[in-house]
Chains A and B, each alone.
Chain A
């Protein structure tokens, strides 16, 4: 893992990564305590659980895993005193192509996660939690295990946390190389020891029926870490860092054709695509021009550099007027990206310059989705493989006259017809690459 730049870019505001980027910062508990560790937990246990849930709601924290669901709303589905066992499962199965933020937290600041988890458990009356870590992070699993033992020895988790009478057991559970387990109901099936086929909805939320059919919170690593900072800073102060409906900071993972790829923690809505690429990340490689970006992990719809989006804006007199929004001026927050037809997702930004062949890029992603489809639903199992075969033949010079149309038809027949969002995740790249770069696909037809 490359170290973060010691001095944050002026556009950054490091909350999650504040300590990680300090020289000599280690993942052990003594280092964490010397940096104010577990003070937020001490504060949280003096609050009423409902106050913590309200703070998370007021902070406008959206899930950082990809779906971007408001975290406080999710927690609100759990009834504190319903007499049922509750569980929290931390989704550390980071595997959305383009995303690599949780890797840093797990390896370099595991106690931040455990503190956030303890606060989350206290707020939702949860006494058993699992941290589901992909097995391709073997060191992370050991580091987090060790952190759990350290935190238990100091009374931050385990029995009678900080003398409150509140108990919380935390265990690490390792995945086994399947992307689908990042889907929350698949993850729960995996944790129950079953084949990880996503569950049929409804119920829509594990908060209703989750692990072992009990109310369960599933949150991403970064999301749980943010809870600590909401308590530390207060909800109002935290929300102020972002934009309405999308509070706090978001860790942007930038990869691909930029001078300085890496992790940048930026207040939600504080940068445009232009600022992120040309200012924060040092621009493109010499002599290159921007062709496209994928803004939110590989499933997010691609954006073409010369696109101009038709959006609505509020005029000074309050009327809504049409406004042309060039792609580079799009602000990287949840609502703006949604308004231009894509998503902030997991904030994994993959940058492609003019040297990139879009048929090649889409084929790479299609192979990924064909490999990772769990096979439960026919449209996805068959369709993801067909899309991969079609783009492969287009790339190998064997494209057929109607291949663009074929591809579109396959993608259109997967999205919306599957049990889980993988159907959309595997169709959106094909649909958007075809729509945005038709000339490249037409060239590859027979």
Chain B
């Protein structure tokens, strides 16, 4: 069997490109400003940003690929490889830590079957992900919900006042 190319840029649809053009239209003064919106658009669509994505966005905005790659490697949100379908981002910072977020993160890892002590530094690398590709769990810095600590951003939803004992049941609702 011939190995198929998996360049993300080869899978772009007309609709995807139309949405990208609309985003660029939000920046009448400089289309370079659309770099972050296009990276979000790309990652939301493909799950991560590969080399072809970096090149495609750069070409779209009349930039060189390094102008885009240096953003992917700077911002913790972007990654160069696939993460789980549901990403569980547990807040690590002070108010959440005081309310037990380290314990909560361990319980999330246990509930989805990940090593709670795996090292993860972000910056392009996907967070620890279950072999079935369903879940990733990571610590993130302050999610700005310190009054209802500890919190986690699960996909797009914020879970608040999480009790370690409730984590397993919470994960079941995601399966």
Give residues in A with beta carbon < 8 Å to B. 1-2, 85, 94-100, 102-103, 128, 134-139, 169, 171, 173-179, 190-196, 211-212, 253-257, 261-263, 294, 298, 348, 350, 352, 356, 361, 364-365, 367-368, 371-372, 374
User: A146 CB to closest chain B CB, in angstroms?
Assistant: 15
Interface pick from B108-116, B145-153, B163-171: B145-153
| 8 Å CB contact of B94 from A169, A175, A365 | A365
Q: Are B32 and A176 in contact (CB under 8 A)?
A: no
Q: Are A98 and B146 in contact (CB under 8 A)?
A: yes
Q: Are A177 and B142 in contact (CB under 8 A)?
A: no
- Jot down 14 A-B pairs with beta carbons below 8 A, ordered by A: A98-B94, A100-B145, A103-B144, A135-B77, A136-B144, A173-B37, A176-B39, A177-B76, A178-B75, A178-B76, A179-B142, A193-B35, A255-B146, A368-B141
Q: Are B94 and A361 in contact (CB under 8 A)?
A: yes
The residue of chain A having its C-beta at the shortest distance from the C-beta of B26 within the complex is A171
Tell me, in angstroms, the Cα distance from A434 to B161 when the chains sit together: 31
Tell me, in angstroms, the Cα distance from A230 to B51 when the chains sit together: 50
Q: Return chain B residues, CB-CB under 8 Å to A367.
A: 92
Q: Are B35 and A255 in contact (CB under 8 A)?
A: no
Q: Are A139 and B75 in contact (CB under 8 A)?
A: no
| 8 Å CB contact of A356 from B33, B98, B149 | B98
- With A97-B94, A97-B95 as known contacts, state yes or no: A371 contacts B147, CB within 8 Å: no
The residue of chain A having its C-beta at the shortest distance from the C-beta of B36 within the complex is A176
Q: Are B145 and A350 in contact (CB under 8 A)?
A: no
Q: Return chain B residues, CB-CB under 8 Å to A212.
A: 29-30
Q: Are A96 and B142 in contact (CB under 8 A)?
A: yes
User: Is B10 an interface residue when CB atoms closer than 8 A count as contact?
Assistant: no
Q: Return chain A residues, CB-CB under 8 Å to B34.
A: 193
The residue of chain B having its C-beta at the shortest distance from the C-beta of A171 within the complex is B26
Q: Are B76 and A176 in contact (CB under 8 A)?
A: yes
Q: Are A255 and B147 in contact (CB under 8 A)?
A: yes
Q: Return chain B residues, CB-CB under 8 Å to A96.
A: 142
The residue of chain B having its C-beta at the shortest distance from the C-beta of A214 within the complex is B29
Q: Are B160 and A1 in contact (CB under 8 A)?
A: yes
Q: Are A191 and B156 in contact (CB under 8 A)?
A: no
Q: Are B40 and A174 in contact (CB under 8 A)?
A: yes
User: Is B71 an interface residue when CB atoms closer than 8 A count as contact?
Assistant: yes
User: A273 CB to closest chain B CB, in angstroms?
Assistant: 17
